[in-house]
């Protein structure tokens, strides 16, 4: 989603942060990532987000942003905390609510995925030692958010992004639901108790919802006060949806993702790989389908607002597959006239 940026950093064909650090060496990689962080998302981006009527930013971070948790022999870029502080501080100044998402867990929580920071064949997250590192990350972030004024807008902590599915890794998923999930809750709440945090100021704690397929996230939680659930709804990969304009609109209009404790934390206006360049959906060198994409955006936004709201994936990317692929990029889709500059006006655009 940012291939040109990745190449400009010198990461070449590296598949993740880990392999880029190995390729460049630690010091050179740190310099390359520092330049990226300084320029990719800035205060101007956040002001633009606010100007479009958006009120929430989900920030995906790797556990390695707390460098004390990185083991010898692990390869992650260093120095990111300074820029996280900068982004969060600007969110606080602008009144943007922040979901702090543990996007890359120790040992990698899902195989073959770049979002973990280290692409692996077998997920290594599901061990006592790596759970402990994740708990320490959550405790550290909890304290930082409650004691650093720049973090005032951080209201929600997501304990892990996109873990394994029960159907593929039944023992790992079951262990996570039985052990990691309730212990993560307890470690956050215990740290808040140590800090003397008022009940009304406690963090919202977020888990992947049951629709993700890892089991019932709440079944072993000691409490569900301020518990929220993340739902990643990509029609693109739902083979039960007819890959036609009418099929996608019908699916979105009739979708019910659940109650107000469910946030659709990732979605896009992309369509199935085998349909995205056909006459109904192509966006390369043509605006013939633009009006349909406006409707598709509005239908999804309306559906997801019947639940707890939404966060689009992603705010910014550069050219994908050699063209301006705005179906994944909120900022680019606004610039293309697909997504309205006032997010609230989507309701009036919905075909439902």
**Which residue among the candidates 17, 139, 192, 266 is catalytic per the annotation?**
266
Which alpha helices (DSSP H) does the chain contain, by range? 3-8, 17-24, 26-39, 43-51, 81-94, 128-147, 170-175, 181-195, 245-253, 290-305, 330-335
Q: Using N-to-C axis directions, what is the helix angle for 17-24 and 26-39, rounded to 10°? A: 130
How many C-beta atoms lie closer than 10 Å to residue 271's C-beta? 25
- Assess contact for 301 and 338: CB atoms under 8 A: no
Helix (H, G, I), strand (E, B) or coil at 32: helix
**Pairing state of beta strands 154-158 and 204-208?**
parallel
**Read out DSSP for 92-146?**
HHHT-EEEEEEEE-TT-SSTT-GGGSS--SS----SHHHHHHHHHHHHHHHHHHH
Of 347, 336, 251, 264, nearest to 298 by C-alpha is 347
DSSP 8-state assignment for residue 270: -
What values do phi and psi take at 174, rounded to 5? -65, -40
Please confirm, yes or no, whether 210 is among the known catalytic residues. no
Q: How far apart are CA 163 and CA 179, in angstroms?
A: 14
From residue 182, how far is each of 135, 156, 159, 186, 284 by CA, in Å?
11, 16, 10, 6, 47
**Which residue among the candidates 162, 172, 192, 325 is catalytic per the annotation?**
162
User: Tokens representing 30?
Assistant: 């740190």
Of 153, 149, 72, 164, nearest to 110 by C-alpha is 164
Helix (H, G, I), strand (E, B) or coil at 240: coil
User: Tokens representing 307?
Assistant: 């639940």
3-state SS record for 161-201: CCCCCCCCCHHHHHHHHHHHHHHHHHHHHHHHHHHCCCHHH
Please confirm, yes or no, whether 162 is among the known catalytic residues. yes
Reported as type and span, the H/E element at residue 306 is none
Catalytic residue numbers read 162, 266
């Amino acid at each position: 989603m940012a291939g040109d940026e990745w190449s400009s950093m010198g990461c070449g064909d590296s598949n993740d942060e880990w392999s880029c650090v190995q390729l460049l060496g630690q010091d050179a990689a740190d310099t390359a990532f520092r330049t990226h962080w300084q320029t990719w998302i800035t205060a101007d981006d956040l002001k633009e987000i606010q100007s479009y009527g958006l009120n929430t930013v989900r920030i995906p971070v790797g556990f390695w942003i707390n460098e004390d948790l990185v083991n010898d022999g692990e390869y992650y870029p260093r120095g990111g905390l300074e820029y996280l502080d900068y982004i969060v501080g600007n969110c606080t100044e602008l009144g943007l609510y922040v979901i702090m998402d543990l996007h890359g867990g120790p040992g990698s929580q899902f195989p073959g995925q770049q979002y973990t920071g280290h692409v692996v064949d077998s997920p290594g997250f599901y061990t006592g030692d790596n759970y402990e590192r994740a708990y320490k990350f959550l405790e550290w972030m909890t304290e930082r958010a409650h004691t650093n004024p720049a973090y005032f807008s951080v209201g929600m902590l997501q304990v892990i992004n996109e873990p394994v599915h029960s159907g593929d890794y039944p023992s790992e998923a079951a262990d996570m639901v039985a052990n990691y999930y309730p212990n993560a809750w307890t470690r956050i709440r215990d740290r808040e108790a140590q800090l003397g945090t008022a009940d009304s100021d406690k963090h919202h704690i977020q888990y992947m919802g049951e629709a993700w397929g890892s089991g019932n996230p709440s079944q072993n939680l000691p409490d569900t006060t301020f518990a929220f659930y993340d739902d990643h709804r990509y029609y693109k990969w739902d083979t039960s949806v007819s890959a036609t304009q009418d099929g996608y609109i019908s699916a979105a209009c009739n979708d019910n993702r659940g109650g107000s404790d469910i946030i659709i934390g990732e979605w896009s206006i992309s369509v199935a790989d085998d349909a995205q360049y056909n006459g109904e959906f192509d966006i390369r060198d043509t605006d013939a389908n633009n009006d349909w994409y406006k409707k598709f955006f509005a239908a999804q936004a309306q559906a997801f607002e019947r639940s707890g709201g939404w966060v689009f994936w992603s705010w910014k990317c550069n050219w994908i597959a050699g063209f301006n692929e705005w179906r994944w990029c909120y900022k680019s889709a606004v610039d293309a006239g697909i997504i309205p500059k006032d997010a609230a006006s989507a309701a009036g655009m919905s075909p439902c």
